Amino acid sequence: MNWRLVTLLGAVLMVAAWTAAEETKPGEAPRPYVQKQDVIYGEIHGTGLLMDVFTPTGKSNGLGIVDVASGAWHSDRGKIRDHERAQMYDIYCGKGYTVFAIRPGSRPKYSGLEMLANVKTGIRYVKAHAAEFGISLDRLGLTGASAGGHLASLAAITAEPGDPNAKDPLRKLDTSVKAVGVFFPPTNFLDWNGAAAPGDRAQDLFFGDRATHTPEETAARAKELSPALLVKAPTPPFLVIHGDADTAVPLQQSKILVDAIKAAGGSAELIVKAGGGHAWLTISEEVKTMSDWFDKKLTE
């Protein structure tokens, strides 16, 4: 299997589906948010890490959603536009959520582990500024789709405690979240619908370089980046939504994550979209379903 080609094709299909899902109507109501672009939430390799903040124009519900904006492990403004087309920010901000669209970096400049660290930095930043944003730092939701869903799941499964003695104020804060809702995430690079690890075809994600790595090193890194293989109790509750016609990321990837969370005693739910590919034309309906789920889980 040409795993990289499949992933890239999936990203193209997702953009096409979300673009087709967007409807612009004359005289439509203004969007229910104010968007602040390119907020610097951290720094790596001397480069600023960026997020967009979507603040509701109506009454805030005091809750925040961290959205990992990444597709095929590429993160740029186009990924945020994809989520706009899926009505993600309209739906969440319309309910009073403040949404933080984190861009964790792109391969091959950043490895998967660096992207994971960047997501955690973003979570810490949001918590550090919770009072400024008018949200509860203890009731954060975490979301993402495809590669963004993978990084969101991985960050939640490998949440880190805060270090009260850290010199960096952000490091004093933990990276835990209260609930996780993701779409069609890769979750196990050692079992890709029955196939072996993708090996050097995913080397830029695994290692961020073109050096030679042994099969053992590759398998070890694949496991480090596979949330389904890292599940330990306790975990936050998960909602996973995946189409049964997805040719980019197999439905099996969501099933094994949900099964692993349940086996560890956690709460996880899988919604299968009949006929759904790697995104679908009516995905905003499932975004609404996920937002309703967050309404419950973040207020329990």
Judge whether 288 lies within some domain.
Answer: yes
- Number of domains forming the structure of the chain: 1
11 in a structural domain: yes
What per-residue confidence (pLDDT) applies to 27?
Answer: 61
Give the pairing of strands 179-183 and 140-145: parallel
Is 85 a member of any domain? yes
203 found inside a domain? yes
Digits of tens for pLDDT over the chain (300 positions)? 444 544 454 544 454 454 444 444 556 678 999 999 999 999 988 889 999 999 999 999 999 999 999 999 999 999 999 999 999 999 999 999 999 999 999 988 999 999 999 999 999 999 999 999 999 999 999 999 999 999 999 999 999 999 999 999 999 999 999 999 999 999 999 999 887 655 545 778 998 877 788 888 888 999 999 999 999 988 999 999 999 999 999 999 999 999 999 999 999 999 999 999 999 999 999 999 999 999 999 999
In a domain, 169, yes or no: yes
* Per-residue b or e along 139-149, where b marks 16 or more CB atoms closer than 10 Å to that residue's CB: bbbbbbbbbbb
Confidence (pLDDT) at 38: 96
Give the domain range for residue 283.
3-20+32-297
Q: What is the pLDDT of residue 200?
A: 46
In a domain, 219, yes or no: yes
Q: Would you say residue 228 lies in a domain?
A: yes
Contact predicate 98/133, CB 8 Å: yes
pTM reported for the whole predicted model = 0.91
Position 22 scores a pLDDT of 46
pLDDT of amino acid 213: 83
- We report the CATH number of the domain holding residue 59 as 3.40.50.1820
In the prediction, which pLDDT does 220 show? Answer: 92
Quick check: is 91 in a domain? yes
